[in-house]
Amino acid sequence: MYGAEAGGAETERTAFRRAEKRYKLYKSQPPRSRKQPVVNRTDLSDAIDFLAVLESFERDGGTPEGIYRFECPGFALPIFCLEDRPGFYFIPCALTTEEQCHWIRQSLISFPQPPNRTNHTAIYGPISDLLTAVQNKKILVAAEHSNVDLVDNNMRAPRYIFSETSLDAHVEGQGSCKSVAASVLLRKLRWSTLGLQFDWSKNKIPNDLCLLAKKMAVPAMSSGEEFQPEAAIVNYFGPSDMLGGHLDDMEADWSKPIVSISLGCKAIFLLGGKSREDMPVSMFL
């Protein structure tokens, strides 16, 4: 986060916190005649829509105040920058529909696969083929209480495995043990890590993902220098989820860019300044 906060009341008064509360999805208690909660309308008039900026630029060559088109020799895609946020590059329509579908599938099928780690790993150990288990309506049960024969002394063996039903989670004389539906695990999947973050060089980022990151990092690199991605994190969000404001300050070399790609449903992204007191720039992803 943006350093330590003095207290709850002060946190509420910072510009960044006010923006977070403004764009957060709120639901009202519905009347008794309605079963579903009512989603409150959010004022999005200040959020930048770079797709509209691109369409306007292609139509008349102009851009809104504070936004300019960045020219990068040899880079075919349009790039826009903000005058008061140097080092930020926005590339609308960076991926085709087919490419977006490919990476969404990879995010659900390949990226959560062991040895990659997810937010479930610390609790359940390595979980393989989660999406397939969801499609087959399977249940995750403790391996030592299942009917599946595992290698006894293999520390790499999963602590939990998928079963056809939750009946395997019950052992005579021992009562019941924890089990969870694969669909619940998928819904609660929040992140998976690739590259150096999880195995310190034994495993590498997929080659096609490296190539994509290198391509998108070109505008932020010095002429003739090539970006070398080493680690990645994939975040998963549901329709009402929110990632709180934070500072990406873990990189040893701040001169190298962070490539962020947004896929799926439209969302609001807040680009902060040097402190929480700086009014963030809101934009559609």
**pLDDT tens per residue, range 221-278:** 888 889 988 888 899 988 778 888 877 777 777 788 889 999 998 899 999 988 888 8
pLDDT per position as a tens digit, 153-200: 333 556 888 888 655 444 333 444 578 999 999 999 999 998 865 444
**Has 248 been labeled as part of a binding site?**
yes
Whole-model pTM?
Answer: 0.76
Which whole number is the average pLDDT over 91-106? Answer: 94
Which of 269, 253, 266, 268 lies closest to 220, judged by CA?
253
Residues present in the chain in total: 285
- Are the C-beta atoms of residues 272 and 229 closer than 8 Å to each other? no
Distance, in Å, from the CA atom of 57 to the CA atom of 64, rounded to the nearest integer, reads 9
Is 120 labeled as ligand-binding? no
Quickly list DSSP for 63-86.
Answer: --TTEEEPP-TT--S--EEETTST
Cβ atoms of residues 79 and 89 within 8 Å: yes
Helix (H) or strand (E) holding 210: helix 207-217
SS3 184: helix
